[in-house]
Amino acid sequence: MNLMGLFRSPQNELEKGGKEAEDQGIRNSCPRCGVQLPLTDLQENLNVCSACGYHFRVGPRERVFFICDEGSFQELDSDLMSRDLLGFPSYDQKLRNAKLASREKEGVLCGAAQVEGVACAVFCMDHNFMMGSMGTVVGEKITRLFEYATQHSLPVVGFTVSGGARMQEGILSLMQMAKTSAALKKHSDAGNFYLTVLTDPTLGGITASFAMDGDVIMAEPGATIGFAGPRVIEQTIRKKLPQGFQTAEFLLEHGFVDLIVPRGGQRQAIAQLLRLHGPAVLNPAEKEKEGAAV
């Protein structure tokens, strides 16, 4: 399944789907229920299957488009790019491929934005860039975002999607977990709000660092969330995993997620959470409205 083409103009006939596809209307089949979904319907429905509610993975710019007020997003640190710091075989090539696949320079998009008028700092990880793996640049961008948010007393809203650490950067990748944790600790100690939205998949070093550190942790329905990947666990325990293990719903049941919000409701829920983390003072205008409703 290739969703890359959804939010940019097609580059060639193949991406356009060719003449035949044009005639019939391009369709994608839902990996969960198998229903054929016309691309235009899927796009309109925020890339959620209208039949079964399956959430297709979406890129960071689509996330920003879904969540942030139009024109409010101002990208930060857009030019930071990874280098092959350890001389790891074929890492350079993988980086080039990832840039082509994602049309981004690295695996996380960061910026300042507004959600229903509330200013915040936003990061969105990118599954198309080496499955959102965290190397030094992803760690650096997220750290800088927290430092920026601390400096400007802004809440942080972070969308996670990641297979974990970036092996090609070895121990330097592991150090990013400590670096980002230290930065978000400063942000938190200064009394700022941090909301994470866990999307499919959120695994490994991301779960074991900033994904699980939100003051409030939201998750997308059906997302796989865990520390160890499902295959690693199966190899360790030599058994098949039970149905529904490590889903967002499983984490909710076990007390590790605050709420599950379908994509269509996220903008409103995020805005509400941001407002509810404003100063706890009476607002005469709002008080009036609440009174009138009774």
Residues 14, 33, 52, 167: which binds another protein (CB under 8 A)? 167
The DSSP element (H or E) to which 176 belongs, if any, is: helix 170-189
Helix (H, G, I), strand (E, B) or coil at 114: strand
- Among the residue ranges 45-53, 111-119, 152-160, 176-184, the one whose residues contact another protein (CB under 8 A): 176-184
The yes or no reply on residue 209 touching another protein (CB under 8 A) is yes
Which of 14, 100, 190, 232 binds another protein (CB under 8 A)? It is 232
Type of residue found at 168: Q
**Backbone dihedral angles phi then psi of residue 142, each to the nearest 5 degrees:** -70, -40
Chain positions 37 to 76 lying near Zn ion, rule: CB under 5 A, are 49, 51-52, 54
51 binds, among another protein, Zn ion, none (CB under 5 to 8 A by kind): Zn ion
Tell me if 224 sits within 8 A of 245, measured CB to CB. Answer: no
DSSP alpha helix (H) spans, 123-162: 136-151
Confirm or reject binding of residue 227 to another protein (CB under 8 A): yes
Query: Does residue 33 touch Zn ion according to CB under 5 A?
Result: yes
Nearer to another protein, 35 or 233 (CB): 233
**Binder to Zn ion among 4, 21, 27, 32 (CB under 5 A)?**
32
Residue carrying structure tokens 């082509």: 100
Which distant-in-sequence residues (6+ apart) come within 8 Å of 15 by Cβ? 5
How many binding residues for another protein (CB under 8 A)?
50
How would you label 164-184 residue by residue, b for 16+ Cβ within 10 Å and e otherwise? Answer: bbbebbeebbbebbebbeebb
> Residue 172 phi/psi, 5° resolution?
-65, -30
Which of another protein, Zn ion, none is residue 52 near (CB under 5 to 8 Å by kind)?
Zn ion
Q: Does 190 bind another protein (CB under 8 A)?
A: no
Strands (E), the chain: 27-29, 36-38, 74-75, 108-115, 118-125, 156-162, 194-202, 216-219, 259-260
Q: Minimum Å distance from CB 167 to another protein? A: 5
Of these partners, Zn ion, another protein, none, which one is at the site of residue 54 (CB under 5 to 8 Å by kind)?
Zn ion
Say which entry of Zn ion, another protein, none residue 32 contacts (CB below 5 to 8 A, set by partner kind): Zn ion
Q: What is the binding site for another protein (CB under 8 A)? A: 86, 88-89, 136, 139, 143, 165, 167, 169-179, 181-186, 188-189, 204-205, 207-213, 226-228, 232-233, 236-237, 241-242, 245-246, 254-256
